[in-house]
C-alpha cells in the first residue's frame, strides 16, 4: 500500500503543471442541433435537386466570366448598398489589372423548399444559391449515422438501412485537393479563411481532416492576419507566415461584419490579386448576390448563358419562383404596390448571406413602405413566398425542451467545379444538407439557432 502510494506520487510529480485558461463564451462546446428522426423527402424532388446542380455549377461559372452582365446587373445595387459596392470595386480593380490565376474552384450550395402552392403535389423551388462559404457539409455528413442508430434502437432496422450516406465532405475535398494539385507546388498549403469567432468550427475541421488524409496541408487564418503577415512576391504568389498558398478557401467574407476594419478589405484585395486559386474568386462571390438571382428569371437570360443546352435551361427554370426587381421605375413601383397590399405572399431580400436577413409579413410592409420612395430600395429584391409542405419531428437543441413540432425542411445540394482557363475539368453534385425548423420561424439557419440538422428519408 505504501509502495503504491509512493509510486503514484512519483508519477504525479513528473506530470507538467497545467494552467487552465478562463473559458470564454466562444470556447464553450455544445452539440450541433439535430432532429431525433430523419424527415421524409420525396425521392423525385431529391433526385431533381441533384440532377440540376451540375447545370447550376455551369451557369454560375459562365456568369462569373461575363463582366458586362455583372456590371449592368449590379450597377443600381452597388449604388444603394455599400457592401456590394466594395466587393464590386475589388472586382473591377482585379479585372483592370488582369486576372492572375486562370484556374477557378467553385463550391456552391443551392437551397430548395418543397412548395405546395399552387399544386397539391409538392414541387422543388429554389430559395437561393450560395457561392461563398457554403457550410455544414462536414456536420451533415455525420447525421445519417446518428439517425441509423436511433432507428435501430427504436426497433426499425429496415428503415435504418434505407438511410443514405452523405458524401458531401469527400466531394468538396475532392475539388479542393484537385485545385491544390493543379496549382503545381507540393509545398504549398490550402488556406482556410475563417471568422475571428466561429460557432461552426467542427464543420470546418471535418473538411480539414479529410484534406490532411490526402496529404494536403491546411492552414487557418483570419482576414486581418493576411493583412498583418501576408505578402505577394514578384510573381504574385501569396505567402502567409512563410507558407505559400495554393488555394484560398473562404469560410468568411460574406457579411459586412467580416470586414471589421479597413485592413480586412486590403487583405481581401491582396488575395484576389494573387496567384492563389480562390474559392470563390470575387466574380463568383458576386454571382451569388440576390440581385443576380433575380436577373436570371428574366426572359432570355438563361438562354444567353446556356445557348447550346435547352434541356439544362428547362431544368433550371423549373426550380424558379417569381423574383422581382424593385429598382426605381414603373416595374419596381408595380411590384412594390402588390407586396404592400399582400405582404404575406412575398419575401423582401437584402444583398446578404448567412441566414436571418430576409423580411416577411408586417415587417416587410413597414420596411418596404419606408424605402419605396428612396433610391435605397435597389439594395433589395422581392421574391414570391414559398409555401412549403409541413412535416412533424422532434428537434434537439441545447437548452430547449424536446417536443413534437410541426416543421418545414430545406434541402441544399453542394456543387463542386473547377475551370482551368476556359474548360471545366470537374463538375460534380457533391452531397446534400437537410435543415429543419419549426413552422413559427420564417427565416434563419443552424448558425442563427433556428434550424437543426436533419437527414432525408426518401419516400
Whether 230 is a known active-site residue: answer: no
pLDDT in tens, 219-229: 999 999 999 99
Cα(48)–Cα(155) distance, integer angstroms: 31
**How far is residue 34 from each of residues 31, 39, 389, 403, measured CA to CA in Å?**
9, 11, 19, 13
pLDDT higher than 70, residue 24: no
Whether 6 is a known active-site residue: answer: no
Assign residue 187 the CATH number of its domain.
3.40.50.1760
Cα(23)–Cα(450) distance, integer angstroms: 25
Nearest residue to 63 via CA among 111, 124, 113, 104: 104
Whether 353 is a known active-site residue: answer: yes
Nearest residue to 109 via CA among 445, 380, 419, 388: 445
Residues 197 and 212 in one domain: yes
Whether 393 is a known active-site residue: answer: no
Residue 5, Cβ neighbours under 10 Å: how many?
9
Q: What is the DSSP string of 36-99?
A: SSPEEE-HHHHHHHHHHHHHHHHHHHHHHT-HHHHHHHHHHHHHH-HHHHHHHHHHHHHHHH--
Q: Give the chain's mean pLDDT.
A: 91
**How far is residue 139 from each of residues 90, 122, 281, measured CA to CA in Å?**
33, 27, 25
Those residues whose C-beta lies under 8 Å from the C-beta of residue 222, and which sit 6 or more positions away, are 193, 194, 195, 196, 252
pLDDT in tens, 440-453: 876 655 655 678 99
Give me the pLDDT at residue 37, please. 95
User: Which residue is catalytic, options 106, 108, 109, 412?
Assistant: 109
Cα(246)–Cα(185) distance, integer angstroms: 7
* 23 within domain boundaries: no
Split into its structural domains, the chain has a count of 2
Task: Decide which of 365, 385, 405 is a domain's last residue.
Answer: 385
Listed range (176-190, 253-267, 333-347, 393-407) with the worst mean pLDDT = 393-407
* 36 within domain boundaries: yes
Determine the average pLDDT of the residues in 195-206. Answer: 89
* 8 within domain boundaries: no
Residues 343 and 432 in one domain: no
Whether 415 is a known active-site residue: answer: no
User: Which residue is catalytic, options 148, 178, 278, 290?
Assistant: 290
Q: Which helix (H) or strand (E) holds 282?
A: helix 282-287
Cα(451)–Cα(445) distance, integer angstroms: 5
**Which three three-digit cell numbers place residue 451?**
434550424
* 9 within domain boundaries: no
Give me the pLDDT at residue 357, please. 85
Whether 128 is a known active-site residue: answer: yes
Task: Decide which of 335, 370, 385 is a domain's last residue.
Answer: 385
The angle at the Cα of 89, spanning 87 to 95, to the nearest 5 degrees, equals: 105
Whether 262 is a known active-site residue: answer: no
Residues 346 and 289 in one domain: no
Assign residue 329 the CATH number of its domain.
3.30.1490.50
Residues 145 and 206 in one domain: yes
User: Which residue is catalytic, options 39, 76, 110, 130?
Assistant: 130
* 4 within domain boundaries: no
User: Which residue is catalytic, options 174, 178, 268, 349?
Assistant: 349
User: Which residue is catalytic, options 57, 64, 110, 128?
Assistant: 128
Residues 228 and 261 in one domain: yes
pLDDT higher than 70, residue 15: no
Give me the pLDDT at residue 16, please. 35
Residues 330 and 307 in one domain: no
Whether 354 is a known active-site residue: answer: yes
Give me the pLDDT at residue 391, please. 93
Those residues whose C-beta lies under 8 Å from the C-beta of residue 11, and which sit 6 or more positions away, are none
pLDDT in tens, 256-276: 999 999 999 999 999 999 999
Residues 151 and 249 in one domain: yes
Residues 77 and 223 in one domain: yes
Task: Decide which of 370, 385, 400 is a domain's last residue.
Answer: 385
CB distance 50 to 411 below 8 Å: no
Residue 399's pLDDT band, with cuts at 50, 70 and 90, is confident
Residue 22's pLDDT band, with cuts at 50, 70 and 90, is low
Residues 370 and 251 in one domain: no
User: Which residue is catalytic, options 230, 288, 354, 415?
Assistant: 354
Cα(51)–Cα(197) distance, integer angstroms: 36
Residues 354 and 417 in one domain: no
Whether 405 is a known active-site residue: answer: no
* 7 within domain boundaries: no
Determine the average pLDDT of the residues in 337-351. Answer: 95
Strand partners, 35: 395
Give me the pLDDT at residue 389, please. 87
133: left (phi over 0), alpha (psi -120 to 50) or beta: left
* 299 within domain boundaries: yes
**How far is residue 242 from each of residues 101, 188, 233, 235, 267, measured CA to CA in Å?**
20, 10, 11, 15, 16
Residues 302 and 365 in one domain: no
Give me the pLDDT at residue 13, please. 35
Q: Strand, helix or coil at 417? A: strand
Q: Strand, helix or coil at 102? A: coil
Residues 178 and 327 in one domain: no
Give the residue numbers spanning the domain of 348.
322-385
Whether the link from the prior residue into 280 is cis, omega within 30° of 0, is yes
Cα(149)–Cα(154) distance, integer angstroms: 8
User: Which residue is catalytic, options 195, 225, 353, 410?
Assistant: 353
Amino acid at each position: 500500500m505504501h509502495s503504491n502510494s509512493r509510486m503514484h506520487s512519483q508519477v504525479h510529480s513528473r506530470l507538467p503543471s497545467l494552467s487552465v485558461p478562463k473559458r470564454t463564451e466562444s470556447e464553450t462546446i455544445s452539440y450541433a442541433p439535430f432532429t431525433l428522426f430523419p424527415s421524409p423527402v420525396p425521392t423525385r424532388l431529391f433526385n431533381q435537386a441533384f440532377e440540376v446542380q451540375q447545370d447550376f455549377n455551369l451557369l454560375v461559372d459562365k456568369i462569373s466570366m461575363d463582366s458586362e452582365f455583372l456590371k449592368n446587373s449590379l450597377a443600381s445595387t452597388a449604388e444603394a448598398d455599400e457592401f456590394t459596392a466594395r466587393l464590386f470595386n475589388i472586382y473591377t480593380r482585379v479585372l483592370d489589372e488582369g486576372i492572375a490565376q486562370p484556374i477557378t474552384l467553385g463550391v456552391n450550395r443551392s437551397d430548395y423548399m418543397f412548395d405546395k402552392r399552387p399544386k397539391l403535389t409538392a414541387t422543388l423551388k429554389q430559395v437561393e444559391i450560395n457561392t461563398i462559404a457554403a457550410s455544414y457539409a462536414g456536420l451533415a455528413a455525420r447525421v445519417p449515422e446518428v439517425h441509423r442508430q436511433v432507428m435501430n434502437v427504436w426497433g426499425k432496422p429496415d428503415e435504418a438501412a434505407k438511410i443514405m450516406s452523405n458524401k458531401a465532405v469527400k466531394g468538396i475535398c475532392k475539388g479542393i485537393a484537385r485545385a491544390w494539385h493543379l496549382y503545381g507546388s507540393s509545398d504549398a498549403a490550402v488556406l482556410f479563411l475563417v471568422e475571428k469567432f466561429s460557432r461552426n468550427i467542427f464543420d470546418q475541421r471535418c473538411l480539414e481532416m479529410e484534406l490532411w488524409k490526402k496529404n494536403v496541408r491546411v492552414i487557418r487564418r483570419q482576414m486581418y492576419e493576411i493583412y498583418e503577415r501576408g505578402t505577394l512576391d514578384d510573381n504574385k504568389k501569396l505567402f502567409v507566415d512563410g507558407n505559400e498558398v495554393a488555394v484560398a478557401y473562404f469560410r468568411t467574407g460574406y457579411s459586412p461584419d467580416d470586414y471589421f476594419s479597413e485592413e480586412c478589405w486590403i487583405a481581401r484585395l491582396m488575395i484576389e490579386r494573387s496567384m492563389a486559386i480562390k474559392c470563390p474568386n470575387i466574380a463568383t462571390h458576386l454571382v451569388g448576390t440576390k440581385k443576380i438571382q433575380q436577373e436570371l428569371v428574366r426572359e432570355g437570360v438563361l438562354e444567353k448563358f446556356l445557348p447550346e443546352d435547352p434541356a439544362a435551361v428547362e431544368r433550371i427554370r423549373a426550380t424558379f419562383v417569381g423574383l422581382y426587381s424593385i429598382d426605381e421605375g414603373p416595374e419596381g413601383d408595380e411590384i412594390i404596390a402588390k407586396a404592400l397590399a399582400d405582404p404575406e405572399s412575398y419575401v423582401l431580400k437584402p444583398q446578404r448571406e448567412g441566414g436571418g436577413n430576409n423580411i416577411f409579413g408586417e415587417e416587410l410592409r413597414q420596411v418596404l413602405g419606408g424605402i419605396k420612395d428612396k433610391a435605397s430600395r435597389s439594395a433589395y429584391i422581392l421574391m414570391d413566398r414559398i409555401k412549403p409542405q409541413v412535416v412533424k419531428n422532434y428537434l434537439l437543441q441545447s437548452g430547449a425542451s424536446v417536443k413534437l413540432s410541426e416543421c418545414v425542411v430545406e434541402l441544399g445540394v453542394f456543387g463542386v467545379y473547377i475551370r482551368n482557363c476556359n474548360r471545366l475539368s470537374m463538375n460534380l453534385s457533391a452531397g446534400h444538407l437537410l435543415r429543419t425548423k419549426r413552422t413559427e420561424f420564417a427565416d434563419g439557419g443552424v448558425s442563427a439557432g433556428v434550424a437543426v440538422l436533419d437527414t432525408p428519408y426518401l419516400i
